[in-house]
Amino acid sequence: MGEGTELLEAARAGELERVKALVEQDTNADKDNALRWAAREGSLDVVQYLVEHGAVVNAKDYLGDTALMRAAEGGHTTVVQFLTDGCKADVKASNKNGYTALVWAARCGQDEVVRYLAERRGVEVDARDKNGYTALMKVCKGGNIKVLRALAAAGADVNGSDDFGYTALMIASGCGHIDIVRFLVEECHVVVNSRNNRGKTAVRVASDCGNGDVELYLTPFLLHSPPSYVSAATSTAENDVLETQTMSIPPSEVEPIDF
């Protein structure tokens, strides 16, 4: 095993003394990569040592991930705090998929890190990845209510839509997350009768996906929503609700809700 590989293994294992010995042996060792591994595993002392000895905080790996993203992914708030407050890590940086540290934390269900990052100056709560999805949209797909609450409290846009016109409510409805749906409707007061690019409301999305409990819950809200929200170019909400639960278009033509 080469010294470079040994350093990565030591950093990953959080073995500070071994890391020190390897860095002293080779001052040109790959400290940047070691820093990302230590951050991912939450080894604060190793992270601090590597930064003090020349590791570049905002250096990216081949996927574009930084140490801050790795720490956020792993849910290590103390490491995130050190990197942002102590090292001025770039909170806006994104990887090749467009994921920021906040998106990584949200995607991985790290609600404490989400709350911390959302309060940092310069963090874009509604930043979109390369597919047009926000952190909140990803959470509505995954179904983590704690992270959703944190994002909503931070002012995330609950009515925004992705490139296919899917709102957070539609995404949660399609995935059958009734608790997420209730939160969006009752606490965030989202627009219930918004339509995606196919002209479908959240009720219809729930129906198409076989989520009867969500469809049953949303139908009264849809029928009594103010008509000003409904586009004149689309059919009425009542007709939307009464349509069959089978897919109206071939599955191959349905926009994937994939995160």
* Residue 1 pLDDT greater than 70, yes or no: no
Give the pLDDT of residue 58: 98
Between these two residues, 237 and 142, which has the higher pLDDT value? 142
Domain range list for the chain: 158-259
The secondary structure of residue 256, as a DSSP letter, is: P
Beta bridge partners of 161: 167
Read off the pLDDT of each residue in 201-220 and give the average, rounded to a whole number. Answer: 96
Give the pLDDT of residue 225: 62
Give the pLDDT of residue 121: 77
Give the pLDDT of residue 28: 83
Where do runs of H (alpha helix) occur along the chain?
A: 3-13, 16-25, 31-41, 44-52, 67-74, 77-81, 101-107, 111-118, 135-142, 145-153, 168-175, 178-182, 202-208, 212-223, 237-242
Give the pLDDT of residue 257: 52
Give the pLDDT of residue 27: 80
Q: Identify the architecture of domain 158-259 in CATH.
A: Alpha Horseshoe (1.25)
Between these two residues, 242 and 53, which has the higher pLDDT value? 53
Share of the chain above pLDDT 70, in %: 85
Taking only the tens place, the pLDDT of each residue in 57-96 is 999 999 999 999 999 999 999 999 999 999 999 999 999 9
Taking only the tens place, the pLDDT of each residue in 101-115 is 999 999 999 999 999
Measured distance CA(156)–CA(166) in Å, rounded: 16
Read off the pLDDT of each residue in 194-206 and give the average, rounded to a whole number. Answer: 96
Q: How does residue 142 score in pLDDT terms, banded at 50, 70 and 90?
A: very high
Measured distance CA(89)–CA(58) in Å, rounded: 6
Q: How does residue 36 score in pLDDT terms, banded at 50, 70 and 90?
A: very high
Measured distance CA(30)–CA(41) in Å, rounded: 17
* Residue 230 pLDDT greater than 80, yes or no: no
The set of long-range contacts for 185-190, using a CB threshold of 8 Å and a minimum separation of 24, is 185/217, 185/218, 185/221, 187/152, 188/152, 188/158, 190/158, 190/159
User: Is 35 within 8 Å of 11 (Cβ atoms)?
Assistant: yes
Closest CA to 4 of 28, 30, 24, 23: 30
Between these two residues, 35 and 221, which has the higher pLDDT value? 35
Closest CA to 73 of 35, 43, 33, 41: 41
Residue-averaged pLDDT of the chain:
87
What are the Cα distances from residue 99, in Å, to 29, 80, 171, 184, 232?
28, 16, 19, 23, 36
Give the pLDDT of residue 159: 97
